[in-house]
Structure 1
Amino acid sequence: MTATIKEFLLPAIPSKHRSAAGTGQKPARRGGYPVTTLHEHLATWAATASERQPVADTIAAIATAAAQLATVIAQGPLAGDLGRVLGASNDGDGQKALDVYANTLFTDHLRVAPVAAVVSEESNDIIALDPAGAVVVAMDPLDGSNNIDFNAPMGTVFSLLPAVAGDAKASFLTQGSNQLAAGFVLYGPHTALVLTLKDGVDIFTLDPAKGIFVLTRSRIQIIPAQRIYAINGSNARHWPLAVRAFVEECIAGSDGPRGVDYNTRWLGAVVSETFRVLLNGGIYLYPGDKRPGYHRGRLRLLYEANPIALLIEQAGGTATDGYSRILDLKPRDLHEHAPLIFGSTDKVTRVMELYAESVPQAGQRPLFAVRGLFKS
């Protein structure tokens, strides 16, 4: 940490607060009909097995912190200079005031949950919490912090794993398929918590007036055959040939091998891209490329690629690094990078086919050739 929250943002977290997961009171009502709160959803799920309760309690703590963070984000400049750079960050973009605040906020709430340790994008080392905790949490407290000053989407990504007694690092350095639960919070026009308990994907929407999350979509399934792809096109010259070939197929539209016209999207935060894919299908690509330091992409395997991959698979999609299933990969380092390609299975499968074929011809096609379409 390079500074304390009190120096530049809001007062400390109150010692007593109402959980954003819900209060256990009568169900909220919408349009005269009862609705399910996150608290009720977690309680019902945890009641079937005692080992589920630590997971439920941890997600409730994350939801409470997320509701508080949503309030700060909604205030924008009224809450202070949220985009102020305080120091260096692991991603090279600089650690911003809101990054620090979010990291402290979530960590403080997890201290009162059954959490043994936390790995955060904002901290180089493991943060030890309750030695008797049954779970560990890997998280990116604030994805998309470069969007702070532009009033664009941001989010929080989290992954829950079983704690290995006496070996916190081993708890984290395991395959993503071992996750107990995963999700993200998207701070946009409304605040949405997207959650999987490894039994489908559900979406909860924050009621800001009551400070509770309410179930608004259940059993999300990715729509197949949607004509949307998301990638940062400014890096086209650095992409591997397989990605170049796939994007060229999309750009060629109805005149190309795919035979249909495509739209492209790029929102600048992987949580917002994931939300769009879950609800509207398509494919997202952040491959490794030839830029220095980007050989394995930019996203982190442990607390970005893994939770997103679990959500995508639970919604009927596919997530890969180009060659392998993301959830089969075992991180060697807490902050290890991984290429991430996810979305509708038909499109992801096509990208994997191109990786397998190496597509040497892609680099010679007019769109990506040295003296091609993008060369003046």
Structure 2
Amino acid sequence: MADSQQYGIQTDSMTLQRFVLAEQKNHPDASGDFTNLLTSLLTAVKAIASATQKAGLAQLYGIAGSTNVQGEEVKKLDVLSNELMINMLRSSYTTCMMVSEENEELIEVEKSKRGNYIVTFDPLDGSSNIDCLVSIGTIFGIYKKRTDGDATLADVLRPGREMVAAGYALYGSATMVVLTTGNGVNGFTLDPSIGEFILTHPNMRCKPKGAIYSLNEGYAAAWSKGVAEYIRTRKFPEPGKKAMAQRYVGSMVADVHRTLLNGGIFLYPATASSPNGKLRLLYEGNPMAMIMEQAGGLATTGKMPILDIMPTKLKHQGDRKAPKAHRPIDQPLK
């Protein structure tokens, strides 16, 4: 057998699909639907990655001429990404309902194509950065339908603790998918030469202590006293302690990914104009919280775990303060 290293090619790579199939073997009663769901989702991610790379040439930059349910101007690449996610998931025959940042209402799958999974997603997080080539991403959470018959709103408005999987894709210098199925966190990088995601970051863990805090300090005047004091102590610690550095991209996927790899804390504090924060619980806060907890970190509002929040509405419910942090936070947020 030829030595794969001789040619710079790995002949026994652990692809994401192979990884999920291996996990499936641990569940004898598995139907294979979850594997099919992830395969379809990854197809959408690959298509979005391709569109992102050639967005300028394909004239996908700029405004599509409408606003989404959050009141944000919708970019052309947003629209394309949303349609890719919806169509790929619908055609997987594994989903019954979807929730997208770009859609006001629940997305119901026609009966002939329904399965037992519900997917919540932000098809293109950080879209305000599209035009300036900053890293952007896709965030998703997966639930299993728990009611008999047709899926209802009650199947969607559930704590994040009930998710069966969560992940994100990061479109930057490389395309990477970070995934948890409730058994740790693993990172897979897209090899464009074969069109497959390869396991490059097995068993990702938060560092016990980080040196970076990440948030938009432009809103400092609107923070609560507790948050302002917490950040002050990060910047101006007690004598003998080192101050934390500040890094903020403005794309949640990019900022959380850096925090996951390098340690530290990511926050989006509440302000007077956004008393519940601006990160949306169902398709931003919950998936990222599950990833952080599975990696040994902490995801909290400052008063309770994000994954324990009971959603009360489909849209606009934010995770108040919503920090994702290294383990442990030195002091509680008040």
Q: TM-score, normalised by structure 1?
A: 0.82
Residue type of the partner of 1:201?
V
Give, as a single letter, the amino acid of the residue that structure 2 aligns with 1:37.
T
Equivalent of residue 58 in structure 2, options 79, 101, 108? 79
Question: For residues 186 and 156 of structure 2, what CA distance do their matches in structure 1 show?
Answer: 25
Would you say the 8 A contact 1:117–1:130 is kept in 2? no
Q: Measure the CA separation in 2 of the matches of 1:53 and 1:171.
A: 21
Q: How does 1:354-373 map to 2 (within 5 A)?
A: 354-355=333-334
Q: Where does 1:69-218 land on structure 2 (aligned, <5 Å)?
A: 69-113=48-92, 114-131=94-111, 132-163=114-145, 164-165=147-148, 166-218=150-202
**Corresponding letter in the other structure for 1:296:** N
Pair member with larger Rg: 1
Shift of 1:31: 4.2
Q: Which residue in the other structure is 1:55 paired with?
A: 34
How many angstroms apart in 2 are the aligned matches of 1:260 and 1:272? 25
| Pairing 1:23-42 to 2, within 5 Å after superposition | 31-32=9-10, 34-42=12-20
Q: How far did residue 130 of structure 1 move?
A: 4.9
Q: 1:277 aligns with which of 259, 266, 269?
A: 259
Match of 1:306 among 268, 275, 286: 286
Answer yes or no: is the 8 Å Cα contact 2:98–2:107 preserved in 1: yes
* 2:206 paired residue number: 222
How big is the shift at 1:227? 1.3
2:267 is paired with a residue of what secondary structure? strand
What secondary structure does 2:121 align onto? strand
Name the counterpart of 1:22: none
CA distance in 2, matches of 1:333, 1:82: 32
Report SS of the residue matched to 1:159.
strand
Q: Deviations over 1:165-219 (max 9, x none)?
A: 3233111101110001000000011000000010000000011222211111111
Q: 1:230-289: per-residue Cα shift (whole Å, max 9, x none)? A: 010000000111110111001114648xx2121001011111111111110000010111
Shift of 1:33: 5.2
**Aligned-residue RMSD, C-alpha:** 1.9
Q: Distance in 2 between matches of 1:318 and 1:261?
A: 21
Equivalent pairs, count? 322
AA aligned to 1:270 is M
The question of 1:341 aligning with 2:320 is answered: no
> Post-superposition shift, 1:52?
6.3
**Identity fraction in percent:** 33
> Aligned partner of 2:268: which letter?
Y
For 1:30 and 1:169, the matched residues in 2 are separated by 51
> 1:311 deviation in Å?
0.2
1:96-135 per-residue CA deviation (whole Å, 9 max, x = no partner) reads 1111100000111011220011100000111111544111
| Residue 361 (structure 1) aligns with | none
1:43: how far off?
A: 1.1
CA contact (8 A) 1:182 1:311 kept: yes
- 3-state SS of the aligned residue for 1:224? coil
Letter in 1 for 2:91: V
Structure 2 distance, partners of 1:346, 1:37, is 32
Give the secondary structure class of the aligned counterpart of 1:299. Answer: coil
Instruction: For 1:278, give the aligned amino acid.
Output: L
- The alpha carbon displacement at 1:70 in A equals 0.4
Q: Give the 3-state SS of the residue equivalent to 1:78 in structure 2.
A: coil
Contact kept, 8 Å, 1:55 with 1:181, in 2: the verdict is no
In structure 1, C-alpha distance between the alignment counterparts of 2:301 and 2:168, rounded to whole Å: 20
Q: Is the 8 A contact 1:196 1:314 kept in 2?
A: yes
- Offset from partner CA, 1:13-61 (integer Å, 9 cap, x none): xxxxxxxxxxxxxx9x964452111111111111232336222211111
Report whether the alignment pairs 1:46 with 2:46. Answer: no
- Please identify runs of 4+ aligned residues in structure 1 that moved more than 3 A: 29-33, 253-256
